[in-house]
Amino acid sequence: MNDNCASPGLISVDDAITRILDAATPLQSVETVNIESALGRVLAEDITSSINVPGYDNSAMDGYVVNSKDCQQRGMTLAVSQRIPAGTTGDPLEAGTAARIFTGAPVPENANAVVMQELCEQQGNNVVINTIVKAGENVRRAGEDIARDAVVLDSGTRLRPQDMGLLASVGVAQVNVYRKLKVATFFTGDEIVEPGNELASGQIYNSNQYTLAGLLQSVGCDVVNYGIVPDTLDNTLAVMSEATSNADLVLTSGGVSVGEEDYVRIALEQLGQLNMWRIAMKPGKPVAFGQIGDCLFMGLPGNPVSVFVTFLIFARPLILKLQGANRFLADLLTIRSDFSWKKVKREEYLRVKIKQAAEGPVAELYPHQGSGVLSSASWADGLVVVEIDTQVKKGDLLPYIPFQGLF
Ligand code: AMP
Ligand code: MG
């Protein structure tokens, strides 16, 4: 993302991210969880394997286990001296014989290769091996996946499903993780109404609460919601002070512009410290970041797409860092543009869908990119980033943040 800040008085997205992350001290409290409830939790310890995986040399195939020196010509006939299903340990292989073996079963002593059954022909008690056998073939070696004492997962890893399986594969049933971040939310605006109610004239539904609820669940936070707060300074002060005394982080939407009805900024200034930034990005110019006591505060803009985008770009990395994760920024990939776009003065985060074209995947633009058009975010697969002063032409390669993997 671009550092050149073309518009005076605005700070760049990268600067804002740096300032936010610099203010974040990761949580120190740790709790122990069973691995089946560890999805999305952040490890507070390095996990070391106390065993080799696999624990013993074993067969990668259903077939016949042999010593390769007995099969240096195609078509050798060997007596079948034993049968070794998975879960049993065979006897040492008698010289000059083969043993029937199944996937996962231990390779017996004196044997060194497995021939897949498709290349073998059983004839009574004998087997004809229709191939020349190389030592080691179709044998999974002890420790080839994980060696004893190796670190399998580092402290700071956010656990994914395959990590949960990996923990189980080395016999770990419980892990120490950082506790969940406690996030309080509230939503400003006299025009905002909860879904389920009738709308009076001039009112809109509180969509931001639900976008944020989903986003916060996806990063594993405990959420306390203080609901809708009317646009008065007293109300804003009261809720802000209660929310910040009960949480590690407070997130809000709306009321951070410079309008007369925007009280979040003023309340934050009265109760704690305010860093109010106008960020050179679109959507989502104003973000109020600060602190009240030990609680961090981030006031997101009110427009529904701005809430979504600023959460992903600023709040998500902050939350992941606070939760002890060692990777917090969204992955930036590259995608070919299927559209052209005018030169911009603020970094733009356009909602796009990936479609297959003759030349490979391309980003298709949602036709209406307004910051209030939430259907653009719902339609999209991700965000294309248009850097400041760059003119996008159809076919250009652009930075791309896929939603997949973010939640
Ligand atoms: P504000 O920054 O408070 O002026 O809000 C900017 C725009 O976002 C206005 O059009 C608001 O009506 C809209 N908005 C604010 N809060 C919400 C919300 N919770 N849900 C949906 N739209 C909102
Ligand atoms: Mg408002």
Q: How far is the CA of 287 from the centre of ligand 2 (A)?
A: 14
- Please measure the distance between the N-terminal and C-terminal CA atoms of the chain and give it in whole angstroms: 21
- Answer whether 253's CB lies under 8 Å from 311's CB: no
pLDDT at 8 over 80: no
Average pLDDT score over the chain:
96
Ligand nearest to the CA of 374: 1
- Which ligand 1 atom sits closest to the C-alpha of 206? 20
Residue 319: phi and psi, rounded to 5, are -65, -45
User: Rounded to an integer, what distance in angstroms lies between the CA atom of residue 91 and that of residue 81?
Assistant: 10
pLDDT in tens, 87-106: 999 999 999 999 999 999 99
Q: Is the pLDDT of residue 171 over 80?
A: yes
Query: What is residue 331's DSSP assignment?
Result: P
What pLDDT, on the 0 to 100 scale, is given for residue 51? Answer: 98
Check whether 220 has a pLDDT greater than 90: yes
Q: Residue 258 has what pLDDT?
A: 81
Q: Token pair of 404, please?
A: 């997949």
Ligand 1, CB within 6 Å, residue ranges: 187-189, 191-192, 204, 206-209, 253-255, 257, 259, 301-304
d(CA 120, ligand 1 centre) in Å: 71
Tokens found for residue 333: 């990939």
Identify each DSSP E strand in 254-404 by its residue range: 273-278, 281-282, 286-292, 295-300, 333-337, 347-357, 360-365, 382-386, 397-402
Ligand nearest to the CA of 206: 1
pLDDT in tens, 276-309: 889 999 999 899 999 999 999 999 999 999 999 9
Q: What is the mean pLDDT of residues 31-45?
A: 98
Which residue of 253, 266, 298, 371 sits with most ligand 1 atoms within 8 Å of its CB, as the best mutation to test the pocket?
Answer: 253
Residue nearest to atom 10 of ligand 1 (CA): 303
pLDDT digits (tens, 9 = 90+) for 222-255: 999 999 999 999 999 999 999 999 999 999 999 9
ω before 54 within 30° of 0 (cis)? yes
pLDDT, average across residues 9-16: 94
From the CA of 188, give the closest atom in ligand 1: 16
Which atom number of ligand 1 is nearest to the Cα of residue 228?
19
Q: What is the pLDDT of residue 261?
A: 85
Going from the Cα of 305 to the center of ligand 1, the distance in angstroms, rounded, reads 10
Residues around ligand 2, an ion, CB closer than 5 A: 189, 254
Q: Is the pLDDT of residue 257 over 90?
A: no
Residue 283: asked if its preceding bond is cis (omega within 30°), the reply is: yes
CA-to-CA distance for 175 and 163, rounded, in angstroms?
Answer: 12
Q: What is the distance between the alpha carbons of residues 188 and 209, in angstroms, rounded to a whole number?
A: 10
CA atoms within 13 A on the CB side of 134: 3
What pLDDT shows up at residue 3?
47
Q: Among all ligands shown, which has an atom nearest to the Cα of 212?
A: 1
Q: Report the run of H or E that residue 64 belongs to, with start and end.
A: strand 63-66
Res. 351: pLDDT tops 50: yes
What ligand 1 atom has the least distance to the C-alpha of 306? 8
